[in-house]
Each structure stands twice: as C-alpha cells, then as structure tokens.
Chain A
Amino acid sequence: MKELKASMAGTVLNVLVAEGESVTPGQALIMLESMKMEIPVEAEVAGTVEKIHVETGSFVNEEETLVTFAE
C-alpha cells in the first residue's frame, strides 16, 4: 500500500484532502507546522486517498504515516 509520511516532526496545521478524493503528484495534502515553519506534505504519485490517519492539531513524528492510498 502506498503511504504519505511526515517529512518532519510537528503539528498538523491543516488537512487539505478528504478520504475518497483522488490526488495528483505534487498536490499538497497535509500542512505541517513546526518551529514557526509551515511545510506542505505533497503527494508523490497520483492515487485515491483511502485513509487519513491524522487530524488538525495532531502531533506527528518524522516518518509517521499521514495518509494511505488505495491500490
């Protein structure tokens, strides 16, 4: 299964997609915030969002799974 992982540790500022939505490469799906810096986490490949594992305000560690895509 394809996954989108956190590029840094921080707080989820915004979830920019919904489950079931199809995404394109480079599309920002989750906005993370850490140490006064906002970092968008972008889809690497096209796919359909199966599950979003975080919500606005959640704290995530680096490499933690944020979104999984349907095969």
Chain B
Amino acid sequence: MKKILIANRGEIARRIIRTCNRLGIETVAIHSEADGDLPYVSEATEAVLIGPNPVVQSYLQADKIIEVAKTHNAEAIHPGYGLLSENANFARKVAEAGLVFIGPSADIIEKMGDKLESRQTMAKAGVPVVPGTVDGVASIEEAIEEANKIGYPLMLKASAGGGGIGMVRCDNEQALSQQFASVKNRAKAYFGDDVVYLEKFIADSRHIEVQIFGDNHGNIVHLFERNCSVQRRNQKVIEESPSPDLPEEVRQRLCDAAVKAARAVDYTNAGTVEFIVDANNEFYFLEMNTRLQVEHPVTEEVTGYDLVEWQLDVATGKTLPAQESIQSTGHSIEYRIYAEDPKTFFPSPGLLQTVEWGEGARIETGYEQGNTVTPFYDPMISKVIITGTDRADALQKSQNFFNQTNIIGVKTNLPLFREFIGSTQFVSGAYATSVLPKWMDKTKEEQKS
C-alpha cells in the first residue's frame, strides 16, 4: 500500500498519519473549513478541503470523500472511529469504487449495527447475552407481557440505537407504559427504524470490552480486555487494561467469549466486543464495535503492538501473529481530556491559549497550543495514556502528571481527574459504571456541609 485517505479528523487522523509515516505510506487528509489549521492537516502528505463545518456537509459526505480518494490515487480509506466508520453503506461504496475499506466488510458492519440481530447471532453462537426479548416488541401490551417474564428494572432499547441514544431504564410497568411510545418515536426520528426490545437491567455492572482482530485467512485473536466503567452521560472518561478486580479465570473466559463472538461472524480487521459484567463476575454480550476504538492505546501499551499497523496489515492480506505470542505486561490507563465544564459537563469551545502537559505520558491530541476548539465537533481534545509496571505505579505517575498539567483558554475536565484519581473508589479498582456520578454527588454534598 502506497497511499491512503483518512476519512476523519483531529487526534485519530493524526494517530493514523504517524503510523503511515513510519511505514512509508502517504496520506490524504480531509478537513472542514474550521479544521484547516489543525496539526493533522499539515502533517498529512496531502490535504483536501471537503466542505463547510457541519459534519453532514463535510466528514459525512461519503460520495465526495470516495471521489477525492480516487482523484488523489489513494488505494484505501481509513475511517477512524465515529463519523462514517460504522456506516455499512459507506464501506460498501468504498469497495464498489475499487478501493480498500480498512475495516470489516459492509455485511459484518450491518449485522453488528443492528442490536437485535447481533444479540441473536451471539446467542446462537453460545455467547451469553443479557436476558431479554429475542425479537422486537410491537405493542405496549406485548411489552408489558414480556416485561413480566423478564422482571423489573429493565432497559427499553431501540434496535438501531447507539451512543447512549434510544435507551431508557424502566423500574416498573408504569414507567414502561410512559416511555414506550417516546422511545419508539425517538428511534424512528434518529435512526429511521422504530424496532424496540427489552433487556434485563444489570445492577452494579461494569463495562469491560475485549479487543479482537481477524485476518482474511480465518485467524481470530484477542488482545485482552479494557475496563471502561468510568463514564459520564453514558460516555467513557477513563479506560484501563488490564481490568482491575477481575479474577484471572474470568478474564480468560471473557477473552474466549470475545473470540467466539468474532468467529460467529467471520470477523476481519479490528473490532471490540463489549460486555456487561455484574457483581458476581457473570458477563453478557452487549454489542460489537466494528472499528478501532478511541481507547485502543491502552491495549497498545500493554501488548507492545501498533494496532493501526495491524489494521493496514490485515487490509493488505497479511496474516496475524499467533494468539500465544500476544502477551500483556504492566498496566495502562487512558484519560480523555474533554473541553467541558468539569461539574456540569457542558461543552466549552474556545482558543487554547496555554497547553502544558506533564511528564511521563503518551499524549494523543488533535490540538496544540494556539489552536481553537470549535463547537462543531466532539468535545474530546486529547487522550492521555499513562503506563506503569503495575496499577499502583500507573496511578502514582498519573497524579504527578495531572499536577504538572495546565490548559488555559477552555474549561476542561483536568480538575475532575486531579480529584477523582485519588478517590478511594477509583484507587480500590472495585468500581462499577455508576462510580463517577456517585462520587460527584458525594463530593457535592460534602462541599455543602
């Protein structure tokens, strides 16, 4: 492969360019008007203005992006994460245009994008799924009948949903009756598909996912797990590998289940199998992400591999290394730095007047000092990855790093990290997805009294 187009922006575009540079592959970056001054644009071999600021007019312009790839003689398109990365139509069009889509086939993306279908596929393959309805529930009467079999509390979910949209927790029949029509309407409006289903609500659960890879020769391997339970608004804030508070025997079964899940769909390229793990270490398949994850660096740090390089290798027909050769050593933690108010989580766009990073971290950032964080895209400005010989070492290094780090010009969640990473809840490692909201409520109350 000599040249690829990157259909993304910011830190992930920069991350992909870095690997391409090392491998001697040329890159074509695309950018909106607002993103023209960002580092990834000048770091790419070539850059093309793709359109105005809103993503629908720029980064989601599938046909235009494919056209640019062809006119610039790119052989492949890397979609990054978000944007068009899990769009089956885009993957299909890329292949039809005679280009390589760096990711799984359109059919796999489609199958895993439909939550009900992916649940059915996994259940059939013997991967445990959250107890719930096999098919969609068409009417409120049917929903109530099924809910009585499953038991409350439960989750009402849109089959086509994602990103925390189109799902709601129902504690009783009254809540289910109230929410049913609204979730159905929302699903129709957001995703163009109003199929909804019910799932048991798993209390005190953790979100643990497994990185998997498949090649075109039938090999599927895992690269261990990541614990992504520190979340705000159902979005991840801190991820770590290995997962603390997970017995080795459970870790092994979890990784095996992820490989089984990938094998069930003949998966190729990078993917992530997400599980819900309850307080008794029982785990259930949640969904499969058919792309490189934001948090892939923690896996790179503990395994020593470059996952973007693996993606390129798989896309060019190379064979993956054997499972036995993939080892995990040390402990790595990723912190997502968001341009947002650390208390309300409201976005905070603006000029990055000062950016001073501490020592001892791998920084993946889409912005440098002097760049402007615009209101058009995701609030994530950087990822900080800190690796130690063990978790205690990584936490110690994290404290030092955040004490030395300073960003002026926009509000960020740096103050939250400074406090939270020293909290007993986080330090203990025994935490569930409710840990951050609970800790914030407690801190708020303590400040009041």
Chain A positions 10 through 44: 1 when the CB is less than 8 Å from some CB of chain B, otherwise 0: 11000000000000000000000111110100000
Q: Are B348 and A62 in contact (CB under 8 A)?
A: yes
Interface residues on chain B, number (Cβ under 8 Å): 14
Query: Which residue of B has the minimal Cβ distance to A36?
Result: B378
Query: Which of A33, A36, A39 has the most chain B CB atoms closer than 10 A to its own CB?
Result: A36
- The CA of A9 and the CA of B344, in the complex, are separated in Å by 13
The residues of B that contact A10 with a CB separation of less than 8 Å are 347, 349, 375
Query: Which residue of A has the minimal Cβ distance to B410?
Result: A9
Chain B positions 346 through 376: 1 when the CB is less than 8 Å from some CB of chain A, otherwise 0: 1111100000000000000000000000011
State whether the Cβ of B193 lies closer than 8 Å to any Cβ in chain A. Answer: no
- The CA of A22 and the CA of B344, in the complex, are separated in Å by 28
Q: From residue 146 to 182 of chain B, which have CB atoms closer than 8 A to chain A? A: none
The residues of A that contact B376 with a CB separation of less than 8 Å are 35
* One of B346, B377, B378 near A8 (C-beta < 8 A): B346
The residues of A that contact B341 with a CB separation of less than 8 Å are 8
Query: Which residue of B has the minimal Cβ distance to A6?
Result: B346
Q: Are B346 and A37 in contact (CB under 8 A)?
A: yes
Q: From residue 43 to 71 of chain A, which have CB atoms closer than 8 A to chain B? A: 59, 62
- The CA of A10 and the CA of B374, in the complex, are separated in Å by 9
* One of A9, A11, A33, A59 near B348 (C-beta < 8 A): A9
Q: Are A37 and B347 in contact (CB under 8 A)?
A: yes
The residues of A that contact B377 with a CB separation of less than 8 Å are 35-36
State whether the Cβ of B104 lies closer than 8 Å to any Cβ in chain A. Answer: no
Query: Which residue of A has the minimal Cβ distance to B380?
Result: A35
The residues of A that contact B214 with a CB separation of less than 8 Å are none
The residues of B that contact A34 with a CB separation of less than 8 Å are 346-347, 349, 375
- The CA of A34 and the CA of B341, in the complex, are separated in Å by 13
Query: Which residue of B has the minimal Cβ distance to A62?
Result: B348
Chain B positions 300 through 342: 1 when the CB is less than 8 Å from some CB of chain A, otherwise 0: 0000000000000000000000000000000000000001110
Chain B positions 394 through 431: 1 when the CB is less than 8 Å from some CB of chain A, otherwise 0: 00000000000000000000000000000000000000
* Nearest CB of A to B118, in Å: 24
Q: Are B344 and A35 in contact (CB under 8 A)?
A: no
* Nearest CB of B to A45, in Å: 20
* One of B340, B375, B378 near A11 (C-beta < 8 A): B375
Q: A-B pairs with the 4 shortest C-beta distances?
A: A35-B347, A8-B346, A34-B347, A34-B375
> What residues of chain A have their CB less than 8 Å away from a CB belonging to chain B?
7-11, 33-37, 39, 59, 62
Q: What are some 17 contacts across the A-B interface (CB < 8 A)?
A: A7-B346, A8-B341, A8-B346, A9-B349, A9-B350, A10-B349, A11-B375, A34-B346, A34-B375, A35-B349, A35-B375, A35-B376, A35-B378, A35-B379, A36-B379, A39-B346, A59-B375
